[in-house]
Amino acid sequence: MKFIVHGGTLSRSLQSINSVITTSNAVPILENFLFQLKGKTLSITASDIETTVTVTLDLTDAEADGLNQIAIPSKILSEIVKTFSNVPLSFLIDENTYAIEITSGEGKYKLTGVPAEDYPRVATIDDASQITIPSSLLVNAISKTIFAAGTDDTRPQMAGILCEQKEDSVTFVATDAHKLVRYRRTDFSNDVPNSFILPKKPLNLMKNILVTYKEDADVLMEYNVKNVSFKFENYNVVCRLIEGRYPNYEGAIPKENPNKLIIERAAFLSSVRRVALFANQSTMQVRLTLEGNEMIISAEDIDFSNAAKERLSCNYTGDNLEIGFNAKYLLEMINNIETEYLLLEMSQPNRAGIIYPYEEGAEPTAESILMLVMPVMLAN
């Protein structure tokens, strides 16, 4: 088995899929890349059993006599290949000993692979439903929601992202019970309504690959009750869906929020960042005091006699209100809003606040983002 591949192309391909591999995997062979040669097409696969990603490369020179696949140690291969960016690399693999010889110019490097027969096969998706999603939509949906997903392994449904498809929209939702983000697009439709929970790892992987594209790409999504695959360009990502029922997120969103705050996003972000430095580091509580057209942001840490207070001008309509939020959650949400202003809707100090992007006079768009953050009990 031998082939020649451009070093830069191979390095970028390996780096894009390397994050799937975990060194603590109970299956040792999964610490390797699977190389498969069919004609002059090279397929490289990385897997942790739950998620499998394959990238294919077209070669100009390749030959497979007897052996057409091998598992190659991922760490050493990634490290050596990334040092060659603009030169061709020649691979020669012995079908009897699995010895691998890599040649580049005057350099020659040897390592040993392992038989590929024990490498897990990619899950087949039988009776699959199909939809095609623009990569820009998918990247935005992942970017705007994934930070709100939970990390508690005892609640696996909340550790994923809900994808809810309807005849007139697609909605992505993430929550950890302290914060919730709902990203919705009404310029996308699906004839067969459906919903499933996607794990974070493959979504992060795809986002990192897709953001490197200069132009929008179509992502073919195939799924059944157990698995889902995403096919785009020369990549195929296959993963298991998270089983179980997603929480009733709509029931957690307060419907009546008469107190409305419109404020410049950048000023609010900077103020919360500064004041949070003086908050109790275990609760990260910041207090918003709203009256008239001004807001006071304050925090204190009694144990260290630290305190901070800032006054900001704003556009506020509603009753005088004092409410507390976890600064970390608040900052995450403000950071994920791109408009110049934001709208914060509230009702009572013990009920969630709702954050929306806001632009005065802007026409409604097909994209809508709702961010919910739970309040924290104020310390007197």
Domains 2-112 and 129-250 share a fold: yes
* 100 three-class SS: strand
Indicate the pTM of the whole model.
0.92
| Residue 350 pLDDT | 94
Hunting for tokens 């696949």 — which residue is that?
Answer: 69
233 three-class SS: coil
Mean pLDDT to the nearest integer, 276-291: 95
The answer on pLDDT for 154 being more than 90 is: no
pLDDT recorded at residue 380: 62
The answer to whether residue 272 scores a pLDDT higher than 80 is: yes
Of 79, 74, 75, nearest to 32 by C-alpha is: 74
The closest alpha carbon to 170, from 193, 142, 202, belongs to 193
Strand ranges inside 41-176, DSSP E: 41-47, 51-58, 61-63, 69-73, 88-93, 99-104, 107-112, 129-134, 160-165, 170-175
pLDDT of 166 higher than 80: yes
Mean pLDDT to the nearest integer, 197-224: 92
Cα gap 91→109, rounded to integer Å: 10
Percent of the chain beyond pLDDT 70? Answer: 99
pLDDT digits 0-9 by tens, 184-210: 999 887 888 899 999 999 999 999 999
Q: Which residue has the higher pLDDT, 166 or 44?
A: 44
What CATH code is assigned to 2-112?
Answer: 3.10.150.10
> Which fold, 254-376?
DNA Polymerase III; Chain A, domain 2 (3.10.150)
The Cα 178–Cα 328 span in angstroms is 11
| CATH hierarchy code of domain 129-250 | 3.10.150.10
Determine the pLDDT at residue 81: 94
Hey, where are the domains in the chain?
2-112, 129-250, 254-376
Are 223 and 129 in contact by the 8 Å Cβ rule? The answer is yes
